[in-house]
Amino acid sequence: MAWVLLVVAGLLEVGWSIGMKYTDGFTRPLPSVLTGAGIIASMLLLSQAAKTLPIGTAYGVWVGIGAAGAAVVGMAVLGEPATAARIFFVCLLLVAVVGLKATSGH
């Protein structure tokens, strides 16, 4: 169950990180509230997952999902450059996330 919570927390991190782009410096109420709720929910789920998973693994996977997801959404939805180098490094992030999961012992 901890892994499910962690993956959901990582996906929420993608959501709130992209959401910050729409808050206009937290001056737009609805995007700001949704982004804040995403931050809180993501942190709560991360903290629950970290009760049973090693913190280095939990935090690394959470950050990896968030960073890779934000980069992919940025390229796919926000028109950010999708160069071969960027795609390669996103793939490296995903390899690191899988590696942390595979070596966590849980």
Per-residue pLDDT reduced to its tens digit, 10-67: 999 999 999 999 999 999 999 999 999 999 999 999 999 999 999 999 999 999 999 9
Count of CB atoms situated within 10 Å of the CB of 96: 16
Total number of domains in the chain: 1
Q: Which of 70, 13, 68, 7 is nearest to 39 (CA)?
A: 13
Distances, alpha carbon 5 to alpha carbons 20, 84, 87, 92, in Å: 22, 32, 26, 23
Range of the domain at 88: 1-103
pTM of the model as a whole: 0.88
